Amino acid sequence: MAKKPSAASGRARRSGSGAVANTGNRQLTVKVKSARGRKNSSTRWLQRQLNDPYVAEARALGLRSRAAFKLLELDDRFHFLKPGQKVVDLGAAPGGWTQVAVDRVNAMKPGGGTVVGLDILEWETVAGATCITKDFNDPDAPDVLKAALGGPADVVLSDMAAPTTGHPPTDHLRIMALLELAWDFAEDVLAPGGTFVCKVFQGGTEGELLTRMKSLCETVRHAKPPASRKESSEMYVIASGFRGRPADRDHDDASDDDTETRA
């Protein structure tokens, strides 16, 4: 799997639009003129895309999105994806994270891992993965995912984000609602020792969810990978060493007590 792009890699990569994204120690900037009928925001977005080395590198390497580099960088640092694991990818479209997961767990090899991705948007199948188009809010979505996975998950990934309204407090509340659903699912499907990786936007209401994670996981860490845009408020939470759901732990404790009583 590819490493993150470097401005000093010494090789120029050309995007499909012809913009050079990486030219050794010197980068060229493409300026986009505002066309009639095009909003200024669209022009700024297009110019940013054309001059983003991650976008060009993802295209050159066959990765479906620049976001793939975020997962690569997170896994290179925290090492939560391993050969043979079962992985769920929530908010998977267009498939960049799914591609990385397939590679890291050896899903294409005999005896390799299993990757199941889900998104509400239509998306092309990723080789080596089960790709589901479905709203995660649907009541039967967890059961569909668990059936495709075929057992407890070692890793649950969530890069889900709600459509933005332009009102930051509202946008924050909407993505936190999605994250709570994702964590509820992770509590239900993660194997002991499993890892939950999710995107959060800082906004003040994430504290309660993080407290829940800390109560059920050995370690909860925060990171902003280099591929995240500097102006973005996004962060990633890596909750590892899942201890199991409270109900499961209570059952285990009760079983231990019964054993001691009989002894």
Residues with catalytic roles: 199
Q: Are 44 and 50 in contact (CB under 8 A)?
A: no
Q: In what order do the strands lie in the sheet with 114-119?
A: 130-133, 114-119, 86-90, 153-158, 190-201, 234-242, 217-223
Q: Which two tokens stand for residue 140?
A: 């039967």
Q: How many CB atoms lie within 10 A of CB 44?
A: 12
97 among the known binding-site residues?
Answer: yes
95 among the known binding-site residues?
Answer: yes
16 among the known binding-site residues?
Answer: no
Spatial distance between the Cα atoms of 118 and 123, rounded to a whole number of angstroms: 9
140 among the known binding-site residues?
Answer: no
Q: Tell me how far apart the 2 most distant CA atoms of the chain are, in Å.
A: 83
Between the two ends of the chain, the Cα-to-Cα distance in Å is 53
3-state DSSP assignment of residue 122:
coil
Over 16-48, what HEC string results? CCCCEEECCCCCCCCCCCCCCCCCHHHHHHHHH
3-state DSSP assignment of residue 197:
strand
119 among the known binding-site residues?
Answer: yes
Residue ranges for the known binding site for S-adenosyl-L-methionine are: 95, 97, 119, 135, 159
Residue ranges for the known binding site are: 95, 97, 119, 135, 159
